[in-house]
Amino acid sequence: MLKNKTAVVTGGTRGIGFAIVKRYLDNGANVAIAGSRQETVDKALAGLTEYEGHVMGIWPNLCDPEEVAESFASVKERFGSLDILANNAGISSRTSLYDYTLEEFTKIVDINLKAVFVCSQAAARIMKEQGGGVIINTSSMVSQYGQPSGCGYPATKFAVDGLTKSLARELAKDKIRVNAVAPGVTKTDMVAALPKEMVDRISAGIPLGRPGDPEDIANAYLYLASDLAAYVTGAVVRVDGAAMT
């Protein structure tokens, strides 16, 4: 589905990001894994030796426009194009408003929102020149419902929805589609860090009866990156088993 395409997947070293990397590689794409440190990127690459020649690592500061532009240029130089950007990197927290420091709020905004802006801008500049591309952002079901603590997280994801819809309108003329995937509760380290009773309570309320696997989410990233979604832009696609909380 992605033959001769090149993708950058931020936060591609584990969890949902690593599942996206594999889906893209299995469907013929070249992939650059953008991680926070060379060490974790190398570890992820060590698990992908069967794809040698089609996968590389980069580790720019995702909030630094110059570092990101340089890294994305190196991807284009290595594989010949940059067709797909999956803005997947993200962090979460459950801190109460009363304990929330400005430092923690700024950090979550930086990674979950500012990095999406910086990476989208750098990728769009390349894609426009190339004649098109696809950007896929990562929202969350809590962008719509909020959550009872950790207000910074749903706030950034709500903002990601807004950025997605705005960029879809702005970049359509350059043949760049922009969509978001809004996962529900998905079995990754991010969820493993939550209290068990919280995960059990949430899982019990999911109509499809189970939390998502990273591969369930990666399938949506594959669809949106592919030509099957040629007429889809500005969408926030829920992949959450119809979870409502």
Give the catalytic positions in this structure. 153
Contact 107, 56 (CB under 8 A): no
Q: Is 15 in the site for ligand NAD (CB under 6 A)?
A: yes
Cβ neighbours of residue 106 closer than 8 Å, sequence gap 6 or more: none
Q: Which of 17, 133, 150, 154 binds ligand NAD (CB under 6 A)?
A: 17
SS3 190: helix
Residue 208 DSSP symbol: T
Q: Which of 36, 130, 203, 245 binds ligand NAD (CB under 6 A)?
A: 36
Q: Which of 6, 8, 13, 71 binds ligand NAD (CB under 6 A)?
A: 13
Residue 135 CA: distances (Å) to CA of 16, 107, 166, 202, 231: 16, 23, 12, 30, 14
Q: Is 183 in the site for ligand NAD (CB under 6 A)?
A: yes
Near ligand NAD by CB under 6 A, which window of 67-75, 120-128, 165-173, 183-191?
183-191
Q: Is 35 in the site for ligand NAD (CB under 6 A)?
A: yes
Q: Which of 30, 88, 120, 179 binds ligand NAD (CB under 6 A)?
A: 88
Q: How far is the CB of 105 from ligand NAD (least distance, A)?
A: 15
Q: Is 14 in the site for ligand NAD (CB under 6 A)?
A: yes
* Ranges within 105-134 binding ligand NAD (CB under 6 A): 111
Could you tell me which of 229, 237, 243 has the C-alpha nearest to residue 181?
Answer: 237
Comparison of 126 and 142: residue with beta carbon closer to ligand NAD: 142
CA angle in degrees (0–180, nearest 5) for 12-38-112? 45
Q: Does residue 205 come out as left (phi exceeding 0), alpha (psi in the -120 to 50 range) or beta?
A: alpha
Near ligand NAD by CB under 6 A, which window of 70-78, 83-91, 93-101, 227-235?
83-91
Comparison of 28 and 149: residue with beta carbon closer to ligand NAD: 149
Comparison of 35 and 150: residue with beta carbon closer to ligand NAD: 35
Strands, sheet with 236-239, edge to edge from the N-terminal-most edge strand: 55-58, 30-34, 6-10, 84-87, 133-138, 176-183, 236-239
DSSP H or E stretch at residue 80? none
Cβ neighbours of residue 123 closer than 8 Å, sequence gap 6 or more: 8, 72, 82, 85, 133, 135
Residues engaged in binding ligand NAD (CB under 6 A): 10-11, 13-17, 35-36, 40, 62, 88-92, 111, 138, 140, 183, 185-186, 188-191
